[in-house]
Structure 1
Amino acid sequence: MSVMQVEVVSNEESIFSGEAGFVVVPTVQGELGIYPRHEPIMSLVRPGALRLTVPGQAEEILVAVSGGLLEVQPHKITVLADVAVRSAEMDQSRAEEAKKAAEARISQAQDDDSLVKAQAALAAAIAQLKTLDYIRSHKNK
Structure 2
Amino acid sequence: METIKVSVVTPDGPVYESDVEMVITKAQSGELGILPGHIPMVAPLEIGVVRLFKSGSKEEDLVAVSGGFLEVRTDKVTILAQSAERAEDIDVERALRAKERAEQRMQDQKAEDIDFRRVELALQRAVNRLSVTGKQ
Q: TM-score, normalised by structure 1?
A: 0.76
**Structure 2 unaligned residues grouped into runs of 5+:** none
**Structure 1 unaligned residues grouped into runs of 5+:** 137-141
**In structure 1, distance between residues paired with 2:36 and 2:53:** 12
**In structure 2, distance between residues paired with 1:111 and 1:11:** 28
Q: Structure 1 92/8 Cα, relative in aligned 2: closer, same or farther at 3 Å? A: same
1:80 aligned residue: 80
Paired amino acid for 2:31: E
Contact 1:66 1:126 in 2 (8 A): no
CA shift for structure 1 position 93: 3.7
The structure in which a higher percent of residues are helix is 1
The structure in which a higher percent of residues are strand is 2
1:128 aligned residue: 129
Contact 1:3 1:20 in 2 (8 A): yes
SS in 2 for 1:9: strand
1:139 aligned residue: none
CA shift for structure 1 position 119: 6.7
2:39 aligned residue: 39
RMSD of equivalent CA atoms: 2.8
Q: How does 1:1-141 map to 2 (within 5 A)?
A: 1-102=1-102, 121-133=122-134
Paired amino acid for 1:9: V
Task: Write out per-residue CA displacement over residues 42-94 of structure 1, whole angstroms, 9 at most, x where no aligned residue.
Answer: 11111111011112433111101111010011111000011101101224442
Q: Structure 1 72/63 Cα, relative in aligned 2: closer, same or farther at 3 Å? A: same
Contact 2:22 2:35 in 1 (8 A): yes
Contact 1:67 1:123 in 2 (8 A): no
Q: Structure 1 71/109 Cα, relative in aligned 2: closer, same or farther at 3 Å? A: farther
Contact 1:5 1:17 in 2 (8 A): yes
Give me the identity figure in percent.
36
CA shift for structure 1 position 131: 2.1
**In structure 1, distance between residues paired with 2:41 and 2:127:** 25
Size of the alignment, in residue pairs? Answer: 132
